[in-house]
Structure 1
Amino acid sequence: MTQINYDYLLHALEDIALADWAKILPEQIAAGLSEKRYGDLAGWKASLAKLPSVSTQHIELTDAVRIGTSDDCDETTRATIKSILQELIPWRKGPYFIHDIHIDTEWRSDWKWDRVLPHLAPLKDRLILDVGCGNGYHCWRMLGAGAKRVIGIDPSPRFIVQFHMIKHFAGAHHPVDVLPLGIEDLPEKLHAFDTVFSMGVFYHRRSPMDHLLELKNTLRPGGQLVLETLVIEGESGDVLVPEGRYGMMNNVWFLPSCDTMISWLRKMGYQNPRVVDICPTTTEEQRATEWMRFHSLPEFLDPNNPQRTVEGHPAPIRAVFVAEA
């Protein structure tokens, strides 16, 4: 019976000069996975516990997240696995291939990874933090790129259980974990990580400068920040602050122009901030699927003018920024 377990990580933190964090982390994890706080969590954990044990002969993390093949189990077992995985719908980040079961997630997160990876300092042997990582898809890709250890954080317990469903098949020994925490839960001034990712988080933060400072405080001197966020076209100083919703999301606060974001990064003490990719979000990259059956980007755009959201704002454009601490 698979359960959520962080023993490997707690031991590893002691070996990478994060022993002080390891002392408080069990209490933080317990708070983040409180069944009293999250009424659906008990059911999600029960789904995790039902997953059958399957011998996995092959794992691919470099070009995809592909764990096992159909040869590892019979059709009845594969049908059982798929049914259990679907008890955690919606699956938003992916795709995953689990014993040839295609978890066709809302987001083609692999496309984002392909855009980001060429612009990074090599991830080999790096200690990495992924802030707001969802179910940990990009964490697995970071591991596939050679990272020494990857720690993702996300306060949503559904995503935590989804991550552990994937890890059930990959194996608990892999040096990748997703914790039920927000960045505000991290110890102050860790200055520990070689690379820190914040992808799809910035525009959800009420205070952009505070978020940039929080990220900077997790990085070792010279460590690299990788920040991906929604932006608008415009000049330095231009920022969209939606009064209501943006793309039907009610927690979108700041959409800067690229020049504005670079200015903010400089102001917060980052070195050599630069934009390395700008890409409009398409309905091929974000859409409803069998694994995410609710409204998605096609419903968030004006049906008469897809260059605008349903609220009349500019349609989503995402940019990737890189800088050093």
Structure 2
Amino acid sequence: MIDYHAFLNKLSQHPELAGWCDALPQQIADGLNEARYGDLPRWKAVLAALPDLAPNAITLNASRVGADGSITEAQHQQLHNTLKGLHPWRKGPFELFGVHIDTEWRSDWKWDRLKDAIAPLQDRTVLDVGCGSGYHCWRMRGAGANLVVGIDPTPLFVMQYFALQKYLNDDSVAVLPMGIEHLPEKLEAFDTTFSMGILYHRRSPFDHLIALRDSLRSGGQLVLETLVIEGKAGEVLVPEGRYSKMGNVWFIPSTATLESWLKKAGFKSPRLIDVSQTSCEEQRSTDWMNFHSLAEFLNPADASQTIEGYPAPRRATFLAEKP
């Protein structure tokens, strides 16, 4: 089930990426090391238990990414129960043979906010940093991308990707078990790089922005989505302790500050295309992610604040180009 050979062959056909193919097998092995991740054998058993089903339709350009076809009620139940073995499902939604994977995030809402503003993805080589199980990777492919490389260091999300790949069966999309720090330095290979929901988790936002810049070819586009605060240029929230119950939130800038950061990191023409307050309809607990979610992260007496008293999550999306 976990087989990257066809994808690596596709990667080798791209001159700027071919050199990476030598290092990737070991990087993948390191990222899926069972000695480090004790749940991996259980997740692999889940993949092996997925029923063999033949789709007659694949959907990559609608809210629910997935596959459809005629299956029996017993197969439907087996598929449902097996996919539940990869709980929690964070990004989506997906639909496989009538099984609706109702993920914590309505990631389709985020996609709808940016899809008409970004440079067309037709025939582009795309990088998605911190892609989770790959929902947006599939939407990028559905929008015409030639090759989509998703990276995420969380092995469960890679297992979820392979569960989907079993039925979507598209070797031009892959989720690799690694972070952006594992990319070759100054790769300069991608036409579009996405970083959505990652910047505030990085201890050095400038190092992250520079790494994103170095992933792009000259003229390539960055799509950056992150938490922001209301405020003037130079204003940044540095939470003491947790933010919205997250312990790994380091910097939350104002939009004006983030624009200046992008310029300082070497991007040209940074521009804000969307600012949205995150709602409990967009991020919530479901049967497929039954842990606490946004509703439990907000102040019960004042939903405009987090449980810690900071401004509630507000997200901005920027576009910028590499000179």
Q: Which TM-score band applies after superposition, normalised by the shorter structure? A: over 0.9
Q: Does 1:201 align with 2:198?
A: yes
1:301 counterpart residue number: 298
1:321 counterpart residue number: 318
Residue by residue, what CA displacement relative to the aligned partner does 1:126-166 show, whole Å, maximum 9, x if unpaired? 00000000000000000000000100000000000000000
1:96 counterpart residue number: 94
1:43 counterpart residue number: 42
1:135 counterpart residue number: 133
CA-based RMSD: 0.8
Q: TM-score, normalised by structure 1?
A: 0.98
2:240 counterpart residue number: 243
Superposed displacement of residue 48, structure 1 = 0.4
Superposed displacement of residue 68, structure 1 = 3.0
Residue by residue, what CA displacement relative to the aligned partner does 1:231-274 show, whole Å, maximum 9, x if unpaired? 00000000000011000000000000000000000011101001
Q: Given the alignment, which residue of 197, 210, 214 partners 1:213?
A: 210
1:107 counterpart residue number: 105
Whether the aligned pair in 2 keeps the contact of 1:136 and 1:178 (CA below 8 Å) is yes
Superposed displacement of residue 199, structure 1 = 0.1
Q: SS in structure 2 opposite 1:195?
A: strand
Whether the aligned pair in 2 keeps the contact of 1:65 and 1:140 (CA below 8 Å) is no
Which consecutive aligned stretches of 4+ in structure 1 deviate over 4 angstroms post-superposition? none
2:145 counterpart residue number: 147
In the aligned structure 1, how far is the partner of 2:278 from the partner of 2:258? 19
Residue by residue, what CA displacement relative to the aligned partner does 1:2-39 show, whole Å, maximum 9, x if unpaired? x1111112112221012210001000000000000000
Q: Given the alignment, which residue of 273, 276, 281 partners 1:279?
A: 276
Q: Does 1:16 align with 2:14?
A: yes
Query: Residue type matched to 1:189 in 2?
Result: K
Query: Residue type matched to 2:82 in 1?
Result: I
In the aligned structure 2, how far is the partner of 1:162 from the partner of 1:195? 24
1:166 counterpart residue number: 164
Query: Residue type matched to 1:307 in 2?
Result: S
In the aligned structure 2, how far is the partner of 1:46 from the partner of 1:138? 26
Q: Percent identity?
A: 56
Residue by residue, what CA displacement relative to the aligned partner does 1:212-239 show, whole Å, maximum 9, x if unpaired? 0000000000000000000000000000
1:231 counterpart residue number: 228
Whether the aligned pair in 1 keeps the contact of 2:65 and 2:139 (CA below 8 Å) is no
Q: SS in structure 1 opposite 2:270?
A: strand
Q: Number of aligned residue pairs: give it.
A: 321
Q: SS in structure 1 opposite 2:77?
A: helix
Superposed displacement of residue 66, structure 1 = 3.8
**Which runs of 5 or more structure 1 residues have no equivalent in the other structure?**
none
2:60 counterpart residue number: 61
Q: SS in structure 2 opposite 1:147?
A: coil
In the aligned structure 2, how far is the partner of 1:52 from the partner of 1:310? 43
**Which runs of 5 or more structure 2 residues have no equivalent in the other structure?**
none
In the aligned structure 2, how far is the partner of 1:65 from the partner of 1:135? 14
Q: SS in structure 2 opposite 1:68?
A: strand
In the aligned structure 1, how far is the partner of 2:65 from the partner of 2:190? 27
Q: TM-score, normalised by structure 2?
A: 0.98
Q: SS in structure 2 opposite 1:119?
A: coil
In the aligned structure 1, how far is the partner of 2:18 from the partner of 2:142? 26
